[in-house]
Structure 1
């Protein structure tokens, strides 16, 4: 699959943009396990043009993680264009526009998935941003605002006409947030629309290598994006890539090996930030790891993990867990 001149190979697996998750350390880790392209956390166009330092830091990318996309969101055309030009100077491979974030503080203000209630403005922003920069511009969005307005098949054509180089579709409406099952049938309809000629990337509920393969085979998508399934499980990219390449499951990864990966995730987070902020950032993702499923009476251990404030505390908890798995 190619996005303009960027060749991602056959059946690429992408790391989804996720706020407070896909920082440089996590992106590099997922890249090391086989992610074909990674995305930054989303960047507020309003904050970026006001030079808010915390927002500007999200533009920090490295050559080691390429190809990498920087994602922006906002609701004002001029602001989005100005932000896009600032992002272009950071030299990402791709600029992605977020029209899919469902959270109230974003969608409720008309940005992110909120744009699904204002399609003319969505198209205006998309066209203006695509015209303003030389790097490929892509869009990530949802099926529609709610069950009664699943407009993605027509919307995809309109977005394509605005000049985007690829489209990512999350198989839920904004009203669903992250509940219920992702509906890939409409993603398949978009991909199989003969008028669509840009790559279509599917996203939503891809939690196993088998499901990733099914999405390629059944719906014909050009790439699959993995988001929440990577929480506490960055090795999912290794598992998926192996299955796609061989048709077989990867030889079992030991619990000890997985725990060491999580320890490394802690180290990387602390190195990127500092011990206090690094632990605050990473601990809730560790606590969500599927590695801990099935451990008897794990609730108190999970709470302790969520309250840990130092590496020493977290590693002591890991040592106790290692005795149980």
Structure 2
């Protein structure tokens, strides 16, 4: 999968500049956290040469069949995520992003294609190995706060439970690790409270601690801030960034929240069951010595050469059915097709 940079209608190319959705004070933090996450991930993997391709999807297809009706949720999706990355997946309802997350987390099985996480081929897993994968390799945070925690256990006991079920650590070591994780996500003061005594944001941060209790390689979060206000959602996402930086865990977040998506180095957009575009953010030193967060958007080109034009581009030029392509020395030109040709002949 490759990327092609593009701008917006009315400009030849998007000029890189500081991301308007990101405060300047947060720029160095984002770069520093990403660097620390890569370092931790390399330590977990046994070297930086083993970071590439922690999650790989190639031509991924998922078809749902109900009473003779077929719904194609994923249509040959391609995606590569490296070890230690924190990636946001965005897209409209029905675009396929939650289906992708369910497949990668082992909750659903793809119809065809390649889906691999670490050394696990998700199309070939037996039921027993799939259960082991879900228990040991991945963690999951749901949007609904009530699905993440057992209501009759305290926050500390909720974090301890996955370790106890996996037979990891003695009782005292489990408790110490649980407290450490709660402190890491900023809710150590909630250790002895039950979920009903916690706010929604506190519950979600506890859920993050539960999800990484067994030291998974990958953490998946499906709209973790979807039921929270903006300020509380920012606290939950800060917890995810801390976990990513301190533990080197690869994190994939599905979200509708553009404020959340703007806090990661890489945002992948899914449209009609395929990856359509990516935004990559990098910290650069400006001429005056200040640090800027520069965002560049790329269209995704799959192995067959297919690319989805941004909807805004299509609407701006009223592109329909067919377009004309011209190969220039350093770019490809896209122009309206049959309609423009017919109008020219009639003139």
TM tier, smaller = 0.3 to 0.5
Question: TM-score normalized by structure 1?
Answer: 0.40
Structure with bigger strand share is 2
Question: TM-score normalized by structure 2?
Answer: 0.38
> Higher RCO, 1 or 2 (CA under 8 Å, sep at least 6)?
2
Structure with bigger helix share is 1
Tell which structure's C-alpha radius of gyration is larger. Answer: 2
